[in-house]
Amino acid sequence: MNALVSEKELEPAGSSEPVAREELLRVDNVSLSFGGVKAITDISFDILKGEIRAIIGPNGAGKTSMLNVINGFYHPQHGTITWQGKVRRKMKPYEAASQGIARTFQNVALFKGMTTLDNIMSGRSLKMNKNFFWQLMWRGPAEREEIEHRKKVEDIIDFLEIQAIRKTPVGRLPYGLQKRVELGRALAMEPDLLLLDEPMAGMNLEEKEDMSRFILDVNQEFGTTIALIEHDMGVVMDLSDRVVVLDYGKKIADGAPEEVQANQNVIDAYLGVSH
């Protein structure tokens, strides 16, 4: 009975049939090593359209490496990545970006000398394509384009409640706000898949709550699929639909938060049982 109620809550108002979620990304048997160090060994999992997928694991488990594989920073030696039904070959980060994968970084990677506004505008790079000539003139089409994208960016700024710091160079902002600006830049790309690498690291409780709310809103209002790495278990259990657990570069569990929480392997990994 309880399960039924919660099932209903998840669904959009007016629909009675559960939505069959299709696969957005699938990782098959991916292995990645640096010289003799194996970062990832034979990992497979999928990310469904519209879900929030958490990737957790102790430090050094290979979580960030996994994100780097997905957005093309690293190229795995073995295995394949299927993105929107197509098997991806070796791909560059900007190609991943142009196909709808946006990300944030563990150690905030913003353009520190630029303002909040310019940082978020840079997320629109791929959407703006008036040619070089018009860019040089900064008249006519290029100017109209700039204005149109600026509107989108202002919407994001409103959404993230960072109006006040619009013109501040981000290097001067406190850490929590920098993380928010970084999320804004990723959102400006209107991605199909948003990769968040520890979006709440180093935040206090209030900031964590704000960030959780933004992540949920992004997922529910824009329908953006999200894959996130996070250490705060409370946050992970609250936010995510499904969780994949890595340890020493291997997948040790995959499933709903409650399942994973009860999994003996996961408990061992976190409590440090000797291998």
> For binding to other proteins (CB under 8 A), which residues are involved?
71, 73, 92-94, 97-98, 102-103, 105, 109-114, 118, 121-126, 128, 130, 132, 135-136, 138, 142, 146, 171-172, 185-186, 188-189
* DSSP class of 163: G
Q: How far is the CB of 166 from other proteins (least distance, A)?
A: 15
Nearest distance, CB of residue 27 and other proteins, angstroms: 19
- Counting beta carbons within 10 angstroms of the beta carbon of residue 32, is it exposed (0 to 12), middle (13 to 18) or buried (19 or more)? buried
**Residues 48 and 23 sit within 8 Å (Cβ to Cβ):** yes
Which residue lies nearer to other proteins by CB, 132 or 275?
A: 132
- d(CA 67, CA 65) in angstroms, rounded, equals 5
- Residue type at 72 in one-letter notation: G
Which of 194, 200 has the CB closer to other proteins? 194
Say how far apart CA 166 and CA 221 lie, in whole Å.
Answer: 23
Least distance in angstroms from the C-beta of 47 to other proteins: 18
Question: Would you say 23 or 143 has its CB closer to other proteins?
Answer: 143
Name the 3-class secondary structure at 243: strand
Measure CA 22 to chain center: 18
Q: Please say whether the beta carbons of 196 and 226 come within 8 A.
A: yes
For residue 148, the minimal CB distance to other proteins (Å) is: 12
Nearest to residue 117, comparing CAs of 191, 203, 188? 188
* Closer CB to other proteins, 227 or 260, in the complex: 227
* Residue closer to other proteins, measured from CB, 168 or 263: 168
Rounded least distance, CB 97 to other proteins, Å: 3
In the chain, what's the furthest Cα-to-Cα distance? 66
Structure tokens at 68: 């780097």
Of 34 and 132, the one with the shorter C-beta distance to other proteins is 132
CB of 226 to other proteins, least distance (A): 15
What is the rounded distance in angstroms from the CA atom of residue 49 to the CA atom of residue 23? 6
Q: What are phi and psi of 15, to 5 degrees?
A: -105, 140
Shorter beta-carbon distance to other proteins: residue 57 or 184: 184
CB of 132 to other proteins, least distance (A): 7
Vertex 254: Cα angle to 235 and 220 (nearest 5): 45
CB of 155 to other proteins, least distance (A): 17
C-beta closer to other proteins: residue 59 or 131: 131
CB-based contacts of 31: which residues, under 8 Å, 6+ apart? 38, 40, 41, 42, 43, 76, 77, 78, 79
